[in-house]
Amino acid sequence: MTASRTLTAVGWWVVGVGVAATPLHAQDTVPPAERGVRIGITYTPGARPGMLVLGGPRDGFQDSVRALLRRDLEFSDRFEMISLPGGDTAVLGVSPPADSSSSGPGFVNYGLYQALGAEYSVALTPSDSAFEATLFDVRGETVRRRLRVPHMAVDDPAFRLTVHQVADELVRAATGEPGVAASRLVFVSHGRLYLLDSDGAALTPLTQPGITTFSPAWDDSGSRLAYTILTDGKGRIMVRDLASGTERTVPPTEQGLNYASAFSPDGAVLAFTRSGDEGTDIYAYNLPQDCCLQRLTVGRFSDNLSPTFSPDGRQIAFVSNRPGLTQVYVMARDGTGQELFAPFDYGVTGSSNAPEWSPDGRFLAFHRDVAGFPQVFVMETRSRTVRQLTSAGRNYDPTWAPDSRHLAFVSERTTRRQLWVIDMETGRVRQLTQIGDTRLPAWSPRLSQPTAAASQPHDQ
């Protein structure tokens, strides 16, 4: 915990001036160390490059942007965030450019940043009509990337997404891979569907209370959601266009119990699970042509459910209890060539459920019972080697972030049913939600424009 406490110190410096509009993670509320007292830093160099977010003038908008950027960079889990207890504006601020006609920061104290262990630093400075976020390569003593941050109202629905996108680009500039800040999660809490920013803020209800929703899923463009409405033992699947807010029932799901759906990567096919007198099987329906319901599995004596498409759209992984307990299987998109996917030891391995293919296709996440407790597992799809990611408490229903290295999942490690995020590379975990009974999460792809969710009625 030492690391995270010291890491939060600069965060607090940034947060110090009211950023009430951007609710922050609990860690950000650590009280400040004494002002004006220089103490050493407790940074321990690790595999991850050091990242220093520089201070700046105290201005509501800049403070909000800086706080968001800093947290997004931290949540990318790709940097060792460096902070000074108390935060020293005089040393860590960036002076304005000497030549007022040029944009960007003026004097940059690379030597100091190097001494602090930083390999990168980020500064936010005013420019002509907006602000500029600059990523410095501290070792190379150069500017790596400059990004414009338009000035906008902090409560503008586009504000958070815009800043998240800047953060993702900063991550890309530093590491070659963009971050995942500009993405959202959809999940169910007490029957209601909610959207949440990837940093755990901007909780937005999508459905009215009193309607029991189930198993939401994103399409690959991040513009549509499919989810089930459960009523009196029936389950119909809705497809909602997030930009317009319109939705419709997928016609063949007006009868029976239909759930656990998945869009094909091209968005044309919705695969879903149907339970009835004949058991539980996977079906596929062509959305744009509004036709061609196809049954992909014929269980007879086993259940087949929870389809997930491979990113190339050619395969569908699913679970089946044909070996007794449910295990992960795979088949071609048309239902042919069904075979075991995730290896297991008969009579030893617990049941495996809720598979989700990673966006890059390399992994399949699922949860598997270990001594009566579900744990999140990841299988490397080519070698089919399986790795257990969690062990504390009950952890289930994993869903991939767009970077194929972060996963959100339901955990009961502290309280009942909260969403947590794990970084597969570092093993770092953080709690994402604070509201109760959250489950069935689905992480969006990277979002390019704000979804219309903000225009939905807020009637909590």
Give yes or no for a contact between 216 and 440, defined as CB atoms under 8 angstroms apart. Answer: yes
Q: In terms of CB distance, is 165 or 352 closer to other proteins?
A: 352
The distance of closest approach from Cβ of residue 172 to other proteins in the complex, given in angstroms and rounded to an integer, is 35
Does position 396 interact with other proteins (CB under 8 A)? The reply is: yes
The distance of closest approach from Cβ of residue 384 to other proteins in the complex, given in angstroms and rounded to an integer, is 21
Does position 80 interact with other proteins (CB under 8 A)? The reply is: no
- Kindly state the helix (H) or strand (E) to which residue 396 belongs, with its residue range: strand 395-400
The distance of closest approach from Cβ of residue 347 to other proteins in the complex, given in angstroms and rounded to an integer, is 14
Record the tokens describing residue 347, joined without a space: 């009579």
Using the structure block, give the residue that is written with the tokens 């509009």: 21
Contacts with other proteins in 201-230 (CB under 8 A)?
A: 212, 214-215, 230
Which of 9, 173, 260, 422 touches other proteins by CB under 8 A?
260
Count, residues in the chain = 460
Does position 257 interact with other proteins (CB under 8 A)? The reply is: yes
Q: In terms of CB distance, is 232 or 339 closer to other proteins?
A: 232
Q: In terms of CB distance, is 110 or 373 closer to other proteins?
A: 373
Residue 218's Cβ-side half-sphere holds a number of Cα atoms within 13 Å equal to 26
Which of 127, 275, 294, 426 touches other proteins by CB under 8 A?
275
Which of 439, 443, 444, 447 touches other proteins by CB under 8 A?
439
CA 172, chain centre distance (Å)? 16
The distance of closest approach from Cβ of residue 351 to other proteins in the complex, given in angstroms and rounded to an integer, is 7
* Interface mask toward other proteins for 347-386; x: CB under 8 A: ----x-xx------------x----x-x------------
Q: In terms of CB distance, is 128 or 232 closer to other proteins?
A: 232
Q: In terms of CB distance, is 208 or 449 closer to other proteins?
A: 208
Does position 438 interact with other proteins (CB under 8 A)? The reply is: no
The distance of closest approach from Cβ of residue 212 to other proteins in the complex, given in angstroms and rounded to an integer, is 7
Give yes or no for a contact between 151 and 142, defined as CB atoms under 8 angstroms apart. Answer: no
Q: What's the start-to-end Cα distance of the chain, in Å?
A: 35
How many Å apart are CA 359 and CA 59, to the nearest integer?
39
How many Å apart are CA 275 and CA 229, to the nearest integer?
14
Which of 416, 425, 427, 455 touches other proteins by CB under 8 A?
416
Which of 157, 279, 311, 393 touches other proteins by CB under 8 A?
279
CA 412, chain centre distance (Å)? 19
Q: In terms of CB distance, is 367 or 430 closer to other proteins?
A: 367
The distance of closest approach from Cβ of residue 445 to other proteins in the complex, given in angstroms and rounded to an integer, is 21
Give yes or no for a contact between 213 and 207, defined as CB atoms under 8 angstroms apart. Answer: yes
DSSP label of 323: T
Which of 273, 381, 411, 418 touches other proteins by CB under 8 A?
273
Q: In terms of CB distance, is 93 or 323 closer to other proteins?
A: 323
Nearest CA to 123 out of 141, 140, 143 is that of: 143
Which of 46, 60, 276, 427 touches other proteins by CB under 8 A?
276
The distance of closest approach from Cβ of residue 265 to other proteins in the complex, given in angstroms and rounded to an integer, is 21
The rounded radius of gyration (Å) of the Cα atoms in the chain is 24
- Kindly state the helix (H) or strand (E) to which residue 89 belongs, with its residue range: helix 89-92
How many Å apart are CA 130 and CA 62, to the nearest integer?
10
Give the relative orientation of helices 2-15 and 60-75 as an angle to the nearest 10 degrees.
160
The distance of closest approach from Cβ of residue 421 to other proteins in the complex, given in angstroms and rounded to an integer, is 19
* Interface mask toward other proteins for 298-337; x: CB under 8 A: -----x-xx------------x-----xx-----------
Q: In terms of CB distance, is 275 or 431 closer to other proteins?
A: 275
The distance of closest approach from Cβ of residue 442 to other proteins in the complex, given in angstroms and rounded to an integer, is 12
The distance of closest approach from Cβ of residue 415 to other proteins in the complex, given in angstroms and rounded to an integer, is 11
Give yes or no for a contact between 169 and 148, defined as CB atoms under 8 angstroms apart. Answer: no
Residue 256 identity (one-letter amino acid): G
- Kindly state the helix (H) or strand (E) to which residue 8 belongs, with its residue range: helix 2-15
The distance of closest approach from Cβ of residue 388 to other proteins in the complex, given in angstroms and rounded to an integer, is 17
The distance of closest approach from Cβ of residue 261 to other proteins in the complex, given in angstroms and rounded to an integer, is 10
- Kindly state the helix (H) or strand (E) to which residue 163 belongs, with its residue range: helix 157-175
Nearest CA to 334 out of 365, 372, 294 is that of: 294
Residue 246's Cβ-side half-sphere holds a number of Cα atoms within 13 Å equal to 3
Which of 12, 259, 400, 409 touches other proteins by CB under 8 A?
259
How many Å apart are CA 281 and CA 264, to the nearest integer?
17
Record the tokens describing residue 5, joined without a space: 């406490």
Which of 31, 210, 233, 347 touches other proteins by CB under 8 A?
233
Nearest CA to 229 out of 252, 259, 269 is that of: 259
DSSP label of 455: G
Residues that bind other proteins (CB under 8 A): 212, 214-215, 230, 232-235, 257, 259-260, 273, 275-277, 279-280, 303, 305-306, 319, 325-326, 351, 353-354, 367, 372, 374, 396-397, 416, 439-440
